[in-house]
Amino acid sequence: AAARAQGRLSDGALTARAAYILRNNDLGTMTAAAPRLYPHMWSWDAAFIAIGLAQVSVDRAITEIEALLAAQWRTGMIPHIVFSPDDPDYFPGADRWGCAALAEAAPRTPATSGICQPPVHAIAVQRILEAARREGPRERREAEAFLDRAWGPLMRWHRWLVQQRDPDQVGRITVHHGWESGMDNSPRWDGPYARVEVGPDLPPYRRRDTQVVQDMSQRPSDREYDRYLWLVEQMRRARYDDAEIRRTVSFAVEDVFLSAILAVACDVLADLGEDAPQRAGDVEELRRWAGQLRAGVAASVDADSGLARDRDIRTGEWLNTETIAGFAPLLCGGLDRPAERRLLNLLDSERWSGHPSFIAAVPPSTSPQSADFRPREYWRGPQWPVMAWLFGWAFGYRGWPERSALMREEGLRLIGDGSFGEYYNAFTGEPLGSLQQSWTAAVALDWLC
């Protein structure tokens, strides 16, 4: 394996640095996803951040989730960005989205974006409860009271996804923007984006992300960005109405990874609800949704590759790309034993985490053997520590403690230099994108504490 520039810090030093970064990125009741590149609260970042915060302060972790839930739309949608008033220069910011003015269901304040992100939040609530129970009786009481408050909003969130994004009950959730998947420029979306025709009346804009990350090769291209902004424009014209969005937005893809996350999140929430008899109805509904989604994810598996697939609902075609999302069934289960074993073997193979030149054996965002692979470009190849955490957590939840421990060990190897990069070049260990990225620091805390 190639040598990395800096050596590995001690666990104590890594822990201290990770805690320092979360404190430094703390805006009060929310944590910026990254200090300069992402100066606001992002939905799934907030959940991972709360998982890390729970190791330092249960109270602060609860505050993080409550700040996010306070921005929930009346429809039940949890928006992908909650804007902090402190950085009006971010692009696309609250004005470009225009949600408060255009959408009846959006809160007037705080300002939010008009799309969603993967529903990992129930996992965060479960981790907060676990941490609180370890901490002592006061924390335990507080976390249980928090669960009571969060229960309704989380149910509404999951119900919105199931009803508005899978109205035909195929068991897979549709996204209308690559940003909703959290994997913005993944090769998963190349086909659907190629079919998005940018209108001549796309209002002009200036990117800010490439002023922060100046090496363009680490960020999406301008062509890609035009399409991202065009979809926002289409949503504005639909006034963010769910039915109208389904009808008019050019991008509509069943996201198998988000669907698997929702399946397992429904199970986790149901686990949390088991003790309360008044939640029996909700728990039953959650288990039904989980079952439906698990089946939908399993049905997407390609017989040749063994990988799960997204599906473009504007053309009806299955999308065959070799990305980390192909391992979605490992998060939620639902495959028969041989299919699951095949997928695990593939994950361990040289095509994926087991590539002999990787510094750390965690799944890259795109297979290094794929023609789509780019070693330094965002969701097209680099390894994302937060994804390693998610798989490691899921392996634990699914009853595979050795696999879970291995993901932790390899994840720590990946982030051992202490820069807490957003993503890493798998061959060199070079941290890429933003440094001091909050969710990277957060998963480090969870791994280390």
Catalytic residues: 184, 422
| Minimum separation from the CB atom of position 228 to ligand 2M8 (A) | 8
Give the nearer residue to ligand 2M8 in terms of CB position, either 146 or 257. 257
Structure-token pair, residue 8: 């590995």
Residue with smaller CB distance to ligand 2M8, 272 or 328 = 328
Shortest Å distance, C-beta 209 to ligand 2M8 = 6
Closest to ligand 2M8 by CB, 159 or 208: 208
Least distance to ligand 2M8, CB of residue 224, Å: 10
Residues at the site binding ligand 2M8, with contacts judged by CB under 6 A: 33, 38, 42, 44-45, 80, 179, 182, 184, 209
Cβ at position 3, least distance to ligand 2M8 in Å: 28
Q: For residue 32, give the amino acid letter.
A: A
Using Cβ positions, the residue closest to ligand 2M8 within the complex turns out to be: 182
3-state SS of the chain is CCCCCCCCCCHHHHHHHHHHHHHHCECCCCECCCCCCCCCEEHHHHHHHHHHHHHHCHHHHHHHHHHHHCCCCCCCCCCCEECCCCCCCCCCCHHHHCHHHHCCCCCCCCCECCCCCCCCHHHHHHHHHHHHHHHCHHHHHHHHHHHHHHHHHHHHHHHHHHHHHCCCCCCCEEECCHHHHCCCCCHHHHHHHHCCCCCCCCCCCCCCHHHHCCCHHHCCCHHHHHHHHHHHHHHHHCCCCHHHHHHHCCCCEEEHHHHHHHHHHHHHHHHHHCCCHHHHHHHHHHHHHHHHHHHHHHHCCCCCCCCCCEEECCCCCEECCCEHHHHHHHHHCCCCHHHHHHHHHHHHCCCCCCCCCCCCCCCECECCCCCCCCCCCHHHCCECHHHHHHHHHHHHHCCCHHHHHHHHHHHHHHCCCCCCCCEECCCCCCEECCCCCHHHHHHHHHHHC
- Residue 80 C-beta: closest distance to ligand 2M8, Å: 6
Task: Name which of 91 and 400 has its Cβ closer to ligand 2M8.
Answer: 91
Q: For ligand 2M8, which is the closer residue by CB, 157 or 179?
A: 179
In the bound state with ligand 2M8, the residue whose beta carbon lies nearer, of 41 and 272, is 41
* Of residues 151 and 230, the one with the C-beta less far from ligand 2M8: 230
Q: 115-148 burial by CB neighbour count: b if 16+ within 10 A, else e?
A: bbbbbbbbbbbbbbbebbeebeeebbebbeebbe
* Closer to ligand 2M8 by Cβ: residue 44 or 327: 44
Closest approach, Cβ 33 to ligand 2M8, in A, equals: 4
Q: How far is the CB of 45 from ligand 2M8 (least distance, A)?
A: 5
Give the number of other CB atoms < 10 A from CB of residue 403: 19
- For residues 300 and 312, what is the distance between their CA atoms, to the nearest angstrom? 12
Minimum CB separation from ligand 2M8 for residue 275, in Å?
Answer: 32
Helix axes 121-135, 137-165, angle to 10 degrees: 170
- Euclidean distance between CA atoms 380 and 178, whole angstroms: 13
